[in-house]
A = this chain, B = another copy of it.
């Protein structure tokens, strides 16, 4: 034996605590969680001992034995994007305001679909009580099979089918809001960065709404097809603008708006003097200083409602038939990157 005899065992179990206190494991359990009946004095002693021993209850064993889990899982997208980072943060805040324990598993943005499934499995394997999905990387079809084992809520984007709940951003309104603004500024020839639905579905929805709104208002729209790369289509947009073919460039995200702004600066073009630009998100710290014209996505509201809905679903004994399907639109932020057409 090379170990010091008086150092507490590497892993203190409830048996150790019970033994040291001269009671049975059951009593220790009850005292530790303050449930059931027990003598206040025994309890104090047990609490004291457990603390002295550095006892940390083994969650796995506890939940396995109890047959239920006190945590809800959060499947998250890459948090380097401030919009997701904020959503994450708000979700977490809401959750521990409501007394829900959240465990998060993320999948890097670059990973293929397989990784996302792995992450899903990991959460389900933990037998979480509920699941919040805040990533587009996992499809509704992949979620569907588990929807009757555990309540699943998609946060930030719509779900399809009738088993997976959702509390989403109203991206359609966002697109329309932006389009209305640009139109009201007098622009009649507009370029739109049209994201491929496979690259980013939310962006696609925004763009579609923009185009529809614009076109129905008689604006001439020039779509520029783009994929996931944030700088894609920027050159094309700039070319159109410098040729005078369009007076505004609408981007489906603030990241792309930044890219356009950057390119414009490098090309010596002035915004909004030479052409107007819009984006979408409004989360970037410093967006105000840049004067970004955008829509401020209602992260807080979505986070709040997601957690509230989860709590409701968890409380409701059986899966009642109310499918949660809400959506929220954020306000337009009229910045200085889009101006009245002279």
Which positions in A face B, CB cutoff 8 Å?
A: 7, 10-11, 54, 56-64, 71, 78-82, 84-86, 88-90, 92-93, 96, 101-111, 115, 121-122, 124-127, 145-146, 148-149, 255, 258, 261-262, 265, 284-290
Q: Are A101 and B122 in contact (CB under 8 A)?
A: yes
Q: A105 touches which one: B81, B102, B109, B124 (CB < 8 A)?
A: B102
- Complex: chain B residue closest to A264, CB-CB: B289
B residues less than 8 Å from A89 (CB atoms): 78-80, 106, 108-109
Q: Are A96 and B80 in contact (CB under 8 A)?
A: no
Given known pairs A96-B107, A96-B115, A105-B103, the reply for A258 and B289 (CB within 8 Å) is yes
- The complex is assembled from copies of this chain, and their number is 2
A331 CB to nearest chain B CB (Å): 19
Q: Are B284 and A262 in contact (CB under 8 A)?
A: no
Q: List 6 A-B contacts (CB under 8 A).
A: A56-B124, A60-B63, A71-B122, A92-B108, A103-B105, A284-B286
For the complex, what is the distance from the CA of A195 to the CA of B249, rounded to whole Å?
Answer: 42
B residues less than 8 Å from A79 (CB atoms): 79, 85-86, 88-89, 92
Q: Are A121 and B82 in contact (CB under 8 A)?
A: no
For the complex, what is the distance from the CA of A324 to the CA of B149, rounded to whole Å?
Answer: 43
Given known pairs A85-B80, A108-B96, the reply for A126 and B286 (CB within 8 Å) is no
B residues less than 8 Å from A286 (CB atoms): 258, 284, 286-287, 290
Given A60-B61, A60-B63, A255-B285, output 13 extra A-B contacts at Cβ < 8 Å.
A54-B146, A60-B125, A61-B64, A62-B125, A78-B92, A79-B88, A80-B85, A80-B89, A88-B106, A89-B108, A92-B108, A103-B105, A104-B106
B residues less than 8 Å from A108 (CB atoms): 89, 92-93, 96
B residues less than 8 Å from A148 (CB atoms): 7, 10
B residues less than 8 Å from A81 (CB atoms): 85
For the complex, what is the distance from the CA of A125 to the CA of B101, rounded to whole Å?
Answer: 13
For the complex, what is the distance from the CA of A79 to the CA of B289, rounded to whole Å?
Answer: 22
Q: Are B82 and A110 in contact (CB under 8 A)?
A: no
B residues less than 8 Å from A111 (CB atoms): 96
Q: Are A290 and B290 in contact (CB under 8 A)?
A: yes
B residues less than 8 Å from A287 (CB atoms): 286
For the complex, what is the distance from the CA of A86 to the CA of B90, rounded to whole Å?
Answer: 17
Given known pairs A89-B78, A125-B58, A285-B284, the reply for A102 and B106 (CB within 8 Å) is yes
Q: Are A56 and B125 in contact (CB under 8 A)?
A: yes
Q: Are A59 and B149 in contact (CB under 8 A)?
A: no
For the complex, what is the distance from the CA of A82 to the CA of B106, rounded to whole Å?
Answer: 16
A255 CB to nearest chain B CB (Å): 7
B residues less than 8 Å from A54 (CB atoms): 145-146
